[in-house]
Structure formats: C-alpha cells, structure tokens
Structure 1
C-alpha cells in the first residue's frame, strides 16, 4: 500500500483516466482513496493509491539531453521531463543511449536549418552538440564507411502525426550532403548530386499521390516505405537508391470518413490547373463537386507549421518534382487523364431496368471517362454491367454489383498509377554497379498505429505492421541482448518487457488466426464477413487475452489489445477488401487503350502474379521480407512522439504522450540500458580503435595479439585515472561490454590525441615538404647539368655532321633534338638527309624512339602479354628462355609459340598485337641497334636508377617518422603503400582509423595482391607505382623476383 509511505502535504504525481499523469499535493488520506489537490487549477481529485507516485524534486534535469539520467524511472517522471524540455526548453530531441526520442514540434525549428546541419557534418565529436536525428544518420554512415560494419537500418516509428515522414526526409537530405562532402572528384559529386536531387524531388510526388488528411494527421502516409540508400564503401559516395512500398490504402479512392480527404493529388490538381487545362481533361470542376472528394467535408490541410497550405502551390512543387525526376511531358499528361477519369468514373450512377439488370443512367459522364482513358466505351461498360459470360449464358450485374466493379476498377487504376511512379523513381536512382559490392542504409517510414471511431481492414493491417515492428524492436533490444550476454558469459539482471509475440500469433497462427480466417472466407464462393467474425469469436473467445468479444452481441465487431492500445474493429466488407476483384475483362479493356502509358498500367507480370494473392497474404509476405531485411542489418531506432491532437507547438497532452511512452517500451529500454552495457565491441576492434591512447605496456600486449588482456589493461588503467563507478565494463569471450559513459570518456581522449597528432604531423609534414623540395631541386640541378654536358657534346658532333646538309634541314635537326634530347645526333642527321619533309622526319624519329623503348624495356613486353591475355604460365616459360622483349618474341614461329603452351586464341592475339607494333616500325631499322647503347641513354638510365633508390629511402623515412609519432608500423606501411607514398593522405587515413574488417573483405574479394600484401608494400617502397606492381604480380603468379626483373631489371628483390 502506498499509504504507508506517503503523507499529507506531500507532493506526488497522480493518474486520472483520459487526463493522464498530473502533479499535486496530498490533501487527505482515507484508506485506499487519496485526496489530491491538483497543482493546476487547485481542484481536489480523489484517486486510488495505486495511481499515486511520489514526486522527487531532483529526479530529472530538463537540461540534460539523455533520458538515461532520469533518476526515478517511472512513466510520470519521464513524462514531465520530456514535457518540460518540449514546452519550456523548446527541445525536440532527447537521447536514450543510442536511441533517439523525437517530439513533433508542429513548427519549423531553428536547429533544423542548413546552417546547423553543417555544424553536425563537420563536428567529429557528437557529444559536443545537442542530440539530433542527423547524429543517428552520421553514426550509421560511419559504421559502414569507417568501421566496416554490416548494412544499417534506421527505423522511424510512432503513431500517425508524430513526424515520421518529415524526419525521414531530413535524414535523406543529410546523408546526401554527407556523401557529397566525402566526394573527391567532380564525377563523384555529380553522381551523388543526381541521386540526391532525384530522391529530394521524389518526395513531393510520392506525398501527393500517397498521403492524405486523416482525423489525426493532416499529412498522413497511407502507405509504408523502406528506402535503401546505396553507398560505394571505398569512397563513401551515394551511388543509388531503391524504394519499397507497402499497402497503399485503396478504399480511400472511393470513400472517406468525416474530417478526412482523399489523396492530396486530386485537390492539388483541381486547385492548380488552368481553365483551358481543365477543359482538355473533360471539363473538370472544383473538389467540392466530386463525390469521391467531398465525403469527409474537408478540403484543406495544414502544413508543418500548423498553417493552412495552398493546394495550388503544392501542385506546382509536384509538377516540378515530376519534371526533375525525368517523367516525360506526354506521360505527365497521361497521368492527369487517369486522375480525371477516376473522378468522372466515380460520378457514374447505375440504375436497374425492368429485368433487374443494371445500366448506366448518366452516359455522358461515362463517355468522358472512356475518352480520357482512350478506351472503347462498349468494352468498358461490359466490365461493369456483365457479371460473367460464357458461350452458353450471360449473367448481368445488379446495381450493387456494377458499383462494386466500377469501384474495383478505379482502385486498381490508381494503385497501378502509384506503383508505376515508384517503379519509375527506382529506375532513375538504381545504382550502375553490382549491389553486392555496395553498402546501404535503409530508412523505414511506415504508417503509424491507428485507432479511430470506426476501424476497418486497413487499420487492422496497419496495426499489425506496427505490432511486427514492435516485435523487431523487442528482439533487437531485449531478446538479442539476453542471448548475446549468455553467449559471452556475461550475467545481467533480467528486464521484463512488453512481449507482444502472442498477439502476433493471434494474427498469423493457422488455421484460425485472423489472417488465415479472412483468407478462407475470401476464397470461399459463399464466404462472408459475418461468417469470418463469428468464427473468430468461437475460436478465440477464451483462448487469447488479446482478443476481446464485444459485450453486446454485434455480429460484425471484435477487439484486440494491441501493444499501443485497445482497438475495436468493424468487419463490414472485409472479405471484399481482402480480395482483388479486378476481372480479366477490366485488364483487357485497359490493355486496348490507345494511350501506350495507360494500356500498361495493370498489365505487368508483377500485377498479374500478385492478383492471385489476397491482400492479407501479400501484406504478410511483404512484412516477412521486411523483417528478414531488418534482422540482417544493424538497426537504429528513432521513436517519434505526437505531443497533442491539435497540432499545436506549445502544449503536450499528458495522457496521449504517457500512453505512447508506455506502449513503445521506452521505460523498459531505459531500464535495460541503464543496468546493462549498451556499448559492445569485439575485443580486437576495441583495442585497435583505442590504440592511440594505450599505455606503453599495453601496446606490447596488443602487438602480441592478446586482445582480451590488452582491453583489460587499457580499461583498468583509465579506471584508476577517472575513478569510474563499478561495475563499468565486462570482458566477454569475444567482446567487451561497456557503459555508455566509459565509451564517451575514452572516445574524447582519442579525439584529443588525434588532434595533438594532427598538430605534430603538420610540423613534420611542413619540414618533410621543405626537405623533399630541396632534395628534388638539387637532383634536378644535377640532372640538368648532366644533360647540359650531353647537349654540348651532341652539338659539337652536330657541327661535324651538318657539313653538307642544307640550312633548312639543319633547322629540322635542331627542332627534333629539342623534342628528343636523348636521341643520338648522328641518327638525327641521317634521318634529316633521307626524309622528304619535316613531318616525315619527325614521324621516323618518333617510331624509332618507340621501337627502342619497346625493345629495351621488359615492362613493355609484359604489357604486350597482358593485352593479348596470354596465360601467366606461358609468360613464365618465355622469361625462363630469355624471351623478354618484343624483338625476341618477333623471331619465334607459330609452331614455337605453341610449343611454349600458347593456345590458338593466344597465338592469334599475339600475332595481331605484334603486327600492330610492326606497322609502326620505320624503314631505318638498320639504325635502331645504335639507339639503346648510346652513352646519353645510359646516362639517363643511371639517373633513373638513382631516383629509384631515393624513392625507396624516402619511403622508409616516412615510415620511420610516422612510427615515431605513435602509429603502428604495420598500419603505416599498409596506408603508405595504399596511397603510393603520399604522406598527406596517409596521415589523414591513419588519424581517422584503419578498418581491418573492411581490409579483410577487400582481400577476400580481390583474392590477393592488394596493398595488404607485404610483397606489394615492399615493391611500392622501392619506387614502383601501385598499379604496375599489382599487374606484374598477377602476371608473374606472385613470383616477386620475376616481377623485380620486369619493374627494375633486378635479378632478385633486395
């Protein structure tokens, strides 16, 4: 009993039905009844003691952004903390460890501006900024780009009107800009910008066609969507996307409840089209004039800021959106005609003749619809007026049946149009690359939990989707947590959470679950919604605590105790809603349309295949695919809260918000994460991440690959420094489990250490750049001096050789000598004497120079083998026989080529390549032997060898300097090799951290000869370009000595 620990004049929280938790002071205690004086209005309330909770003045700090720090873990305390943050502090976001709580502000907030966004993109330490959904997006991006973790999902959940759609749009925009900031080239930026623009402009189009005003939300998504954003893991660039949609609400096309609208696009189109455009579409009128638009008797809607939106201006955005995502103008016109045709079609009235056959009483309206769709009127009218037809008998439709067929056709037409738009967007943003080589971040924005005065089949499906998501949340947060702790040998106190698995069985368990039962009745010839309801009553009445039979025997109702709240369902017309009643004759009529776009709306294979399934079956299948998708990713959660029903920015309704907090498991999440260890990393990953702040002793442990001991030493060392409260970490079998604050403390140290290293590296880099520039200047001066001497000698020879040559040809020699400074002067003189024009002389010298290089350098021989795709074993046989130049391969016959192992295809390819080379040979072959032996060439070769030695010394100097700063030698060599010795880029990568898992995946993908290979690193250190090293190693089957011959002319690697 609470009365034993409460007293008169004590401040408490008290709960009232329909009002929620409030604050007051105890006025009188009489048994189990407590008299409370409310703090607001000073009214006396009588409440039972179990609805009293003690008020603790310092239980929370509204300025503290993390709800984990609420000291009194009760829904009333949590509610008032969030309420104060929202109403007084004007804060939309609060943290719950890694999860984010977002309260819909119903206004544009300053901290969501582009200027604020740049702060979050540029700040590496998230703890320095207030919580935001952008941090969730940034962490997901870092997980796949920097940490090399699995694909990511962000689940944005909450009831209708809680701000899910706006949060999703903000996340897409942030990830697009983050990708743009990561791009290095104009081409990468172009790709990222194109995808980002297409996704941005698809938003107004999808909202217009898929959102509508409901009694709870003026911009309610009437479909669910899972948006995948694909990124190139090597560059971080957004390269594509994909949108998967779920369960568009078809019945809204036909009828709306009071206070609701049809889909936005109808009202927006009628508001914006000009008089001439309306005339071209059959003479369209205003929204109030159409029965499928005026059912709810509301024709406006409010925007994010609570002000009434201008439908005409909204449609201008839709038009721009369709243009910017690439929908052609003639297709846009066809879309307008489909929408207009639906409006006119729903105005058709049916009457009964004397033979009880339905007929169309206002044919002019029907003709307008057929004209817009470009369909023969007789063909389409038969779809409505004839129920079935065979060679023997024709059965005509009644008035009700004709209306039902007409409604089914209009619904199918609109769903086909919506699906086409989604498919077009997907084609526009589909990545060019193989999806297996990409990583993705998935954003799930699905319809929120719904509970209206009248709840039908659509609400059942929507609420089942939310039950499924809640089950995934429970599994990800609670069940997986328990299983992981058991596997790792970590003991935690068990947390009781709102498990909804039995409620899901109520929906899915065959043969009497709700979905199997409705499918059975839908597939039976005489199945009815009444039979479906009575079957549910009979089977589930006393078997499930979640199923509620109405007190008064109403034949078409039942109730379900959902995780969020109790919902009463009206089953009238459910069997019809669950089936797809579009007849084959309707498909054939649409296929006959003379408009190519309209004729294909319902004829794709997917539409035909899905037609065979009921709505319940198809929806279950989609949700199962979604569940599998989510479970294969690392999931992050954003819980959206709707603060009030009036869309006001200044109040929070206690009952509404507290029920959302309780139903979504927020309290249990805080309890679990507070007593547990929310941060969990593999021992090796953890120790590598914090390598920069390891004590010296621990570095030795880490290098011996005793990662468990290294983690223990590191954490114990900093525990002594910081005085963390115990228990603060646990070492499992393969993972380390940490409190959130422990990670934050260590992460701040890493950020600070990296900042210090940047300063040290800047000093080092500036010194290194100066030394390098001076060395290059000195070597260049020596090279110039050497070439000057050679040039003077050549000019002296030229003076002797010029005797007898005309002055014009001497000028040729001088010009060509400037282009080819290493070419022997006597050869130039011979060419000038024999050539009949300057152009011919220049071509002859160019070809001789190329032939010289071809015959001299083995790398050209290897390139020839690679271009002809000769087997590496055959190339090795050539090299073993000293066949290592194009000149030597030219002397071999076809039979000899085959004796070395060449196939017919390889012989043909080699012959073709060699012929291409021979065509370039000059008629002065007799002079070519002298080219490669001249002293000028030998001098140039000596200079090149000297530069190679300097490059190797330079590489080792960089390694030593970076190791001295504090980076591990293994990481330094890997990164320097990866960036071809470019120290600036290497330092940037070292500071941001080495992704070992990503490297291993890259090695597995490319088999071998990556920069993680020590042989590759060694050859790059010797001065060879990374690309040449990899190509040579693959050609030589990894024989490093043969590669050294090719790249450096060495017999073995030093």
Structure 2
C-alpha cells in the first residue's frame, strides 16, 4: 500500500520508470483512492436500494423529492464549492424558467393582456461557469490536458479570459494568491485555484487500482472487479504519458470531475424539466449559524436574489387561478344565469350580478382555452358557492326531515288503526 500511494509507474518508450511522488501529490493520491472507494460503495448502495424499491417498469407517473446541497460559502472555497454553487445556479435557472418565463409565455399563448414583469436572470453566471469553449470548466479541462499544466497557469488563463465579465472579479491581492470571485445570485464567492487541476483529474493510479482489486476483503474486491469503470481507468492510466518532472503534468483526461458532474446534473435537469416541479426555498436566517437569530436585511437580500419577491409580484399582479372553459362552466354552473349563452356573455353577466366582482380591476380574462381569474375573484365565487350550498343543504335537510316525519306518521297511523280494529272485534 505504501508503494502504491507514494510512487507511480511511468511508461517511457518501451520501458517503465518508477517515480516517487512529492508529499502533496501523495496526499492527492491518497484522497483519490479514498474517494473512489466511497464512490463505489455509494453506487453499490444506490443500486441495491433501487432494485429493492423499484416500481413497475410500466409506471409513468411518480412523485419525487430532490434534496440538493445548498449554496456554500466557506473561508476557503475550492473546486468542490464551485461545482455545488454551479448546481444551485442551474436550479435557480430552472426556477426562473418555470416561475417567470413559462408563466408569462402562457399569457402570450392564451392571448391574455398582460404587463410583463422583469425578473433577475443568472444566465451570464451560468455561462461563465459552463460556457463552451471559454467557460471556467472548459478552461480547467483544457489545462488538465496541457503538459505541465498547473493551477498557476489556470489562474492566469481565468484572469485574461474573464476580465470583462460582470460575474467575474479578481483584485490585485486575489491575483497574488491565485484567487478569483464569482458573483452568484446568492452572493459573491471567492475561490482559490490551488488544487483545481489535481482535483479535476481525480484519476486513480494503476498501482492503487491493482491494490484494491487484490484486496483481502471480498466486498472491496467485488466493487472493483465488477466495475467497467475500473478496467477503463486502468487501461487509461497505463496508456497515458506523464512528465516525470511535471508536478501535476498533463496527459489525456478521459472523463474529468467537472465533465462527470455536468453530465449528472444535465440528466437530473432533463428529468425535472419533464415534470411539474414545486419549489421549496430554504432561507438562512443569519450568516453566523446562530439559533433563534433573524437578520432581516440578510433574509430580504436572499429573497430578492432568489427571485421570490418577483414570483410573489407576478402572482399578485397576474392571474394565478386558471381553468379550462368546460371546467369553469361546470364548476360555477349554479352561478351562471344564462347557461345557453357563450362564455364571454356568461362571465360578463356573472361580473355584473356581483358588486364585489365589479369593484375589482379586470377580475377575469378569457383566454383561447382557459379562463384566467385573479385570486380575489376566485375566492369571492367560492364564498358565494358555499353560501348557496349552505342554503341548498338546509332545503335538502327540511325535505329529508319532512319525508321521515310523514313516513313515521303513516306507520303510526296504520298501527293505531290496526290496534283499534283489534279492540273493537
């Protein structure tokens, strides 16, 4: 184990040369092995759990809960935090698409008169991270392919490429320490490029893979012998060429960390786009992680940056209640006076018949396929329906009680006649 963690075999022509790793590279190799074992165990558990609770293959409806790690800002932020915060940016983009863009697009499709509400967009920040060919992730992958590529060169590339971006910042002090800042929707985060390249490669040395495959623990052996990724990584590791003096040198990176992360995130977002999502926003009450402490300005900033205030604004200014024409006519049929008239006439008569509706500003709009209502109009119609249903319930109860009383009276009268006839005889 010590040899596999502190050395690596490099192919030089037809020969193989064993090179000792520096302390920092040995530490990276150790961490990669630990993360690889964790990843294989995690995948194994997910596969077993899925097979145990899997629904029928024909099921086309489901209710899923997606619990995503929150936005992270630490004293020192590295590639892990950039990936996590990028995922949150993509989910924020999804939120904006569903709540703002699709909402207003439906008004256009239904020919509804509507004053468009501007909403915050994080498209530029997302493009800064995953843009091709000039995004943070793309440049990182490129640097990992360059012989002798390192974090210092990566930082310099970032500074030269993104100096004109409004979402990218780098002061002289930050440049001196290989740092840069990204203006996320939830706040500005300073990242350190130290370790970016090694973390992105995240490749296990073939010697370490051989060690894990030959483990004395049957479970560990099974994880690596049955994994196609293991043989691929082993093949790739043997075929790659490294510079013996290149502290983090180049070589082909078949699948970097950011490539895998983007692929998994894309798959998740495709699934979410195919569903009807409901969003639950978690707001930090304070930045000190103190219990029972509420910092109002910080909470307001989060609500504003995440688009919650704009979502509420659209909900209040727009038409949150909408029903297809047929459902509207069926649900409010008791309130419609002329059931043979067209829908526009029925809605106009309904508005004229109720002073509370007439006092509202455009309580209804009839779209091409749906009736749009403001919340106050729907609540008023609901209250009127409840009142009518209450009166109808009282009438039905009187009819029912009368039926029971008359039936009981007839039974009693018949019994009395029978008893009298018996006594007289």
- TM-score, normalized by length of structure 1? 0.33
Q: Tell me the alpha carbon deviations over residues 875-907 of structure 1, each in whole angstroms, 9 at most, x when there is no partner.
A: xxxxxxxxxxxxxxxxxxxxxxxxxxxxxxxxx
Partner of 1:424: 48
Q: 432, 435, 442: which one pairs with 2:59?
A: 435
1:551 equivalenced with 2:172 (yes/no):
yes
Partner of 1:394: 17
Contact conserved, 1:383 with 1:585, CA < 8 A, in 2? yes
Partner of 2:325: 683
Partner of 1:730: 365
1:501 equivalenced with 2:86 (yes/no):
no
Q: How many angstroms does 1:417 deviate by?
A: 2.0
Distance in 2 of aligned mates of 1:671 and 1:661: 12
For residue 569 of structure 1, give the secondary structure of its aligned residue in structure 2.
strand
Structure 1 segment 833-872 matched on structure 2, within 5 A? none
Q: How many angstroms does 1:671 deviate by?
A: 2.2
For residue 496 of structure 1, give the secondary structure of its aligned residue in structure 2.
coil
For residue 566 of structure 1, give the secondary structure of its aligned residue in structure 2.
strand
1:454 equivalenced with 2:53 (yes/no):
no
Structure 1 segment 727-806 matched on structure 2, within 5 A? 727-748=362-383, 760=396
Q: 312, 317, 338: which one pairs with 1:697?
A: 338
Contact conserved, 2:336 with 2:346, CA < 8 A, in 1? no
For residue 278 of structure 2, give the secondary structure of its aligned residue in structure 1.
strand
Distance in 2 of aligned mates of 1:714 and 1:632: 40
Q: 1:677 to 1:397 in 2, by over 3 A?
A: same
Distance in 1 of aligned mates of 2:214 and 2:385: 68
Q: Tell me the alpha carbon deviations over residues 238-297 of structure 1, each in whole angstroms, 9 at most, x when there is no partner.
A: xxxxxxxxxxxxxxxxxxxxxxxxxxxxxxxxxxxxxxxxxxxxxxxxxxxxxxxxxxxx
Distance in 2 of aligned mates of 1:491 and 1:623: 37
For residue 8 of structure 2, give the secondary structure of its aligned residue in structure 1.
strand
Partner of 2:273: 631
Partner of 1:613: 255
Q: 1:675 to 1:721 in 2, by over 3 A?
A: closer
Distance in 1 of aligned mates of 2:373 and 2:226: 53
For residue 416 of structure 1, give the secondary structure of its aligned residue in structure 2.
helix
State which structure, 1 or 2, has the greater radius of gyration over its C-alpha atoms: 1
Q: Tell me the alpha carbon deviations over residues 352-372 of structure 1, each in whole angstroms, 9 at most, x when there is no partner.
A: xxxxxxxxxxxxxxxxxxxxx
Partner of 1:383: 4
Q: How many angstroms does 1:585 deviate by?
A: 3.7
Q: Tell me the alpha carbon deviations over residues 802-832 of structure 1, each in whole angstroms, 9 at most, x when there is no partner.
A: xxxxxxxxxxxxxxxxxxxxxxxxxxxxxxx
For residue 673 of structure 1, give the secondary structure of its aligned residue in structure 2.
helix
Q: How many angstroms does 1:387 deviate by?
A: 0.6
Distance in 2 of aligned mates of 1:649 and 1:460: 27
Structure 2 unpaired stretches of 5+: 234-253, 408-425
- TM-score, normalized by length of structure 2? 0.78
Structure 1 segment 928-967 matched on structure 2, within 5 A? none
Q: 1:395 to 1:626 in 2, by over 3 A?
A: same
Partner of 1:1042: none
Q: 1:645 to 1:536 in 2, by over 3 A?
A: closer
Partner of 1:475: 97
Q: 1:466 to 1:710 in 2, by over 3 A?
A: farther
Q: 1:506 to 1:645 in 2, by over 3 A?
A: closer
Q: Tell me the alpha carbon deviations over residues 90-120 of structure 1, each in whole angstroms, 9 at most, x when there is no partner.
A: xxxxxxxxxxxxxxxxxxxxxxxxxxxxxxx
Q: 1:489 to 1:593 in 2, by over 3 A?
A: same
Distance in 1 of aligned mates of 2:354 and 2:224: 66
Q: Tell me the alpha carbon deviations over residues 983-1013 of structure 1, each in whole angstroms, 9 at most, x when there is no partner.
A: xxxxxxxxxxxxxxxxxxxxxxxxxxxxxxx
For residue 282 of structure 2, give the secondary structure of its aligned residue in structure 1.
strand
Contact conserved, 2:337 with 2:350, CA < 8 A, in 1? no
Q: How many angstroms does 1:546 deviate by?
A: 0.9
Contact conserved, 2:357 with 2:363, CA < 8 A, in 1? no
Q: How many angstroms does 1:449 deviate by?
A: 1.4
Partner of 2:36: 412
Structure 1 segment 92-107 matched on structure 2, within 5 A? none
Contact conserved, 1:465 with 1:623, CA < 8 A, in 2? yes
Contact conserved, 1:388 with 1:395, CA < 8 A, in 2? yes
Distance in 2 of aligned mates of 1:576 and 1:711: 69
Partner of 1:360: none
Q: How many angstroms does 1:758 deviate by?
A: 8.0
Structure 1 unpaired stretches of 5+: 1-379, 772-1054
For residue 137 of structure 2, give the secondary structure of its aligned residue in structure 1.
helix
Q: How many angstroms does 1:535 deviate by?
A: 0.9
For residue 294 of structure 2, give the secondary structure of its aligned residue in structure 1.
coil
1:651 equivalenced with 2:293 (yes/no):
yes
Distance in 2 of aligned mates of 1:427 and 1:740: 45
Q: How many angstroms does 1:516 deviate by?
A: 0.6
Q: 1:750 to 1:425 in 2, by over 3 A?
A: farther
Q: How many angstroms does 1:744 deviate by?
A: 2.8
